[in-house]
């Protein structure tokens, strides 16, 4: 179980290292009416993560995996995801994606007139990005293979969602504490993310991918 928790933490941290959710969150908080969108977006982000991980965990519990094969299967899954993260980090280093900027501009253009349910849908939808799905399904698989008691499994799913969505949770928590004081640091953070976010995400994803792959090889 300890190896499962460690793997979940690593996968959740890899999920949190994405500029799109963080940038979208800050854009909402800096908009003229942030209260209309901040909490629905937060709820949608957390709910989407919980649903994907939870469904994956429940589905994997029905697979006929023998107890003695669990560690080997966990190691294989971890190795595959580690390699995928390393490959994704290389893509981030090499290619400059314009799709993220286009997505953020589309999101920003909707802020002034969007109703609350659209922010909720946006939070849900960001969990359907390929990287987010890969990590969430893998996390659910790790939980499902262990076949934990319902309460323990639920706590693991919620913990993964909270860490994976920390780029959404933390800025909103800071803003809720003091909306006026949060304006300046949020603006500075947003500008920093636009300049360096992709590079930082690439470095962090590469580091986690190497750790996950190395740890999985050790388990084998």
User: CB–CB of 42/172 below 8 Å?
Assistant: yes
Name the phi and psi angles at 113, rounded to 5: -120, -5
Q: How far lies 171's CA from each of 46, 159, 161, 166, 189, in Å? A: 14, 18, 16, 8, 10
DSSP class of residue 69 equals H
Q: Are 141 and 80 in contact (CB under 8 A)?
A: no
170: tokens are 């933390």
Angle at which helices 2-16 and 130-146 pack, to 10 degrees? Answer: 170
**What is the per-residue pLDDT for 69?**
57
How confident is the model at residue 116, as a pLDDT? Answer: 83
Q: Which residue has the tokens 């603006």?
A: 187
Task: List per-residue pLDDT tens for the chain, 220 residues long.
Answer: 666 787 788 888 888 888 888 988 998 998 888 888 899 999 999 999 999 999 888 876 665 554 555 667 777 777 888 888 888 888 878 876 665 656 666 666 666 677 888 899 989 999 998 888 888 888 888 888 777 888 988 999 999 999 999 999 999 999 998 888 888 999 998 888 888 877 888 888 888 888 878 877 775 6
Q: Is the pTM of this model over 0.75?
A: yes
């Amino acid at each position: 179980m300890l190896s499962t928790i460690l793997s979940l933490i690593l996968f959740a941290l890899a999920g949190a290292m994405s500029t799109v959710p963080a940038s979208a969150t800050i854009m909402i908080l800096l908009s003229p009416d942030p209260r209309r969108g901040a909490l629905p977006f937060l709820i949608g982000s957390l709910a989407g993560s919980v649903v994907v991980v939870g469904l994956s965990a429940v589905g994997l519990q029905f697979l006929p995996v023998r107890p003695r094969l669990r560690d080997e299967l966990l190691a294989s899954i971890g190795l595959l995801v580690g390699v995928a993260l390393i490959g994704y980090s290389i893509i981030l280093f090499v290619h400059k994606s314009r799709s993220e900027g286009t997505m953020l501009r589309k999101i920003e253009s909707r802020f002034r007139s969007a109703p609350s349910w659209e922010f909720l849908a946006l939070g849900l939808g960001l969990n359907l990005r390929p990287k987010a799905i890969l990590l969430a399904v893998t996390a659910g698989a790790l939980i499902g293979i262990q076949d934990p008691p319902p309460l323990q499994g639920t706590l693991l799913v919620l913990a993964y969602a909270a860490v994976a969505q920390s780029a959404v949770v933390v800025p909103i928590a800071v803003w809720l504490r003091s909306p006026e004081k949060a304006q300046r640091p949020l603006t500075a953070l947003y500008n920093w993310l636009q300049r360096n976010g992709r590079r930082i995400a690439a470095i962090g994803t590469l580091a986690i991918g190497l750790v996950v792959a190395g740890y999985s090889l050790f388990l084998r």
